[in-house]
């Protein structure tokens, strides 16, 4: 353990050690930011759930007493929808830390440091970053509280007290986030431990197999069949089954994503006529899972957007109902859009962090290419294409899948209330622009990297 502690460098020490252009935005700092964003939004979501649970337990009006239990269920659905991108962002942060340490850890392995020591070293360093990120995330959660207290639900906004998660949860966060970070980093590090040379080679990765599609087809098919036939179950049972299958469909999107991106990349490579298109296609084909991780949050957001698009139809259908029905319909739209906004924010954070990490990881490659005359505009275009191509594909496809899946539930409401589709298009466009803007934040970092003229690897 003493060896591990001696080898472990804190995030700040790692930041200083990296030097050069990256000293201003180290992978360690990026990981801390990602942990902070994950923590702030996760606490906000939990706070919202607590708020609804509080209103269900202690309603202040008949309408609230009537609606609150339904809202608790819907809040849980929102938690499930957001948990994937949040966990994905957190895991990405852990991997980010590991990726930059791969070379050093491989060298340590070759020098004789044992596998368990390598794992412990990585877990310790990533847990440090997780702790710092969680602490910053707590502050972020506090800063977001006034924002959430402006949004009305059941006719009145939450008070800060209603969505305050409490000191025990905050304290637990400071333990759980570093722990999850350490576990995620440990899993990511398996290949270094298994083979010390494994991370040093850049070879052709095995192609993703088409059988991934079968899982998605099966989940969507099961959902559609149950929705149509209902299998003779009572209404409540069907709802539970449908929600379960909805979760399954959601999960299989993660299975389908990388495979779809690899297909897109093959088309891009085959049809590329310019260096930028060729490079972008090759980069996506090289690691479609990494590209998917960047846009996975948006894929989910697209799915949510598809759901949101049918809600105005639902609200219109209940327009003649009582106060509770109208409130529920309005709040469904509000909650859907809120979920979507958080998903987009998380996706933008993922994209920005992944792009900055990519620039840092490829700093020597970029610098050498530039010295050989490759213009900076080419790098910018490649960076943009690597994000925008899968972004358009994933957001559009997942929204379409959501519409298809929900058609049996809401049917003609889509046609009778086309404003929902307009809302969908607007959300996707706005979210897409947000993600593109987030990727552009790495432009200054790229310029700083290209100013390096040391042509010999350190």
Partner 1 sequence: MSVPLPPPPPPAAASATAPAAVVPPAAHAAARLSARGLVKTFGTTTALAGVDVDLAAGESLAVMGPSGSGKSTLLHCLAGILPPDAGTIALEGREIGRLSDRERTLLRRERYGFVFQFGQLLPELPAEENVALASMLLGTPRARALDLARQWLAALGLAGMERRRPGELSGGQAQRVAVARALITGPDVVFADEPTGALDQTTGADVMRVLTETTRAAGASLVLVTHDENVASWCSRRIEVRDGRVVGA
Site for partner 1, rule CB under 8 A: 201-204, 272-275, 278-279, 282-283, 285-286, 364-365, 368-376, 378, 453, 455-457
Nearest distance from C-beta of residue 457 to partner 1, angstroms: 5
d(CA 216, CA 214): 5
- Which residues, 6+ apart, have CB-to-CB distance to 250 below 8 Å? 80, 81, 84, 300, 303
DSSP one-letter code for 153: E
Output the CA torsion 403→409→415→418 (10° steps).
Answer: -60
Nearest distance from C-beta of residue 1 to partner 1, angstroms: 35
Nearer residue to partner 1 within complex by CB, 203 or 236: 203
Nearest distance from C-beta of residue 371 to partner 1, angstroms: 6
Nearer residue to partner 1 within complex by CB, 318 or 369: 369
Nearer residue to partner 1 within complex by CB, 149 or 364: 364
CB contact at 8 A, 256 and 269: no
Nearest distance from C-beta of residue 358 to partner 1, angstroms: 12
Of the candidates 86, 45, 80, 420, the one whose C-alpha atom is nearest the C-alpha of residue 246 is 80
Nearest distance from C-beta of residue 201 to partner 1, angstroms: 5
**418-423: long-range pairs with CB below 8 Å, 24+:** 419/312, 420/308, 420/309, 420/310, 420/311, 420/312, 420/313, 421/309, 423/305, 423/308, 423/309, 423/312
CB contact at 8 A, 302 and 402: yes
Nearer residue to partner 1 within complex by CB, 255 or 272: 272
Nearer residue to partner 1 within complex by CB, 190 or 451: 451
Nearest distance from C-beta of residue 207 to partner 1, angstroms: 14
Nearer residue to partner 1 within complex by CB, 182 or 280: 280
Nearest distance from C-beta of residue 450 to partner 1, angstroms: 10
CB contact at 8 A, 222 and 248: yes
Nearer residue to partner 1 within complex by CB, 146 or 457: 457
Strand partners, 366: none
- Radius of gyration over alpha carbons of the chain, in Å? 24
- Which residues, 6+ apart, have CB-to-CB distance to 179 below 8 Å? 127, 130
């Amino acid at each position: 353990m003493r060896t591990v502690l001696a080898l472990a460098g804190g995030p700040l020490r790692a930041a200083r050690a990296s030097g050069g252009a990256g000293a201003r935005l180290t992978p360690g700092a990026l990981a801390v930011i990602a942990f902070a964003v994950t923590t702030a939004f996760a606490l906000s979501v939990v706070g919202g759930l607590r708020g609804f649970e509080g209103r269900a337990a202690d309603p202040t009006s008949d309408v609230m007493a009537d609606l609150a239990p339904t809202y608790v269920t819907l809040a849980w659905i929102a938690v499930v929808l957001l948990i994937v991108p949040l966990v994905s962002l957190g895991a990405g942060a852990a991997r980010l830390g590991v990726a930059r340490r791969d070379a050093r850890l491989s060298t340590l392995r070759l020098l004789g440091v044992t596998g368990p020591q390598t794992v412990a070293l990585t877990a310790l360093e990533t847990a440090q970053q997780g702790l710092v990120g969680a602490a910053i995330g707590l502050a972020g959660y506090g800063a977001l509280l006034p924002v959430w207290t402006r949004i009305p639900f059941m006719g009145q906004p939450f008070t800060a007290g209603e969505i305050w998660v409490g000191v025990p949860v905050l304290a637990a966060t400071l333990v759980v986030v570093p722990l999850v970070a350490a576990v995620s980093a440990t899993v990511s590090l398996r290949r270094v431990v298994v083979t010390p040379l494994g991370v040093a080679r850049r070879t052709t990765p095995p192609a993703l197999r088409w059988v991934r599609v079968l899982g998605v087809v099966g989940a969507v098919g099961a959902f559609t069949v149950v929705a149509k036939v209902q299998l003779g179950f009572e209404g409540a049972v069907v709802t539970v089954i449908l929600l379960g299958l909805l979760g399954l469909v959601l999960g299989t999107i993660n299975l389908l994503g990388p495979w779809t991106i690899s297909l897109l990349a093959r088309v891009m490579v085959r049809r590329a006529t310019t260096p930028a298109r060729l490079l972008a296609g090759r980069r996506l084909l090289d690691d479609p899972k990494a590209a998917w991780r960047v846009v996975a949050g948006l894929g989910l957001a697209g799915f949510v957007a598809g759901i949101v698009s049918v809600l105005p139809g639902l609200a219109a259908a209940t327009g003649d109902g009582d106060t509770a029905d109208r409130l529920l319909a309005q709040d469904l739209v509000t909650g859907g859009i809120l979920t979507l906004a958080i998903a987009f924010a998380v996706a933008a954070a993922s994209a920005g962090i992944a792009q900055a990490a990519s620039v840092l990881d490829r700093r020597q490659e970029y610098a050498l290419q530039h010295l050989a005359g490759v213009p900076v505009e080419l790098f910018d275009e490649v960076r943009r294409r690597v994000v925008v191509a899968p972004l358009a594909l994933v957001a559009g496809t997942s929204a379409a899948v959501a519409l298809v899946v929900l058609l049996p539930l809401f049917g003609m409401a889509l046609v009778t209330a086309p404003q929902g589709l307009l809302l969908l298009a607007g959300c996707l466009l706005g979210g897409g622009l947000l993600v593109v803007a987030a990727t552009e934040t790495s432009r200054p970092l790229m310029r700083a990297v290209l100013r390096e003229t040391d042509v010999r690897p350190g």
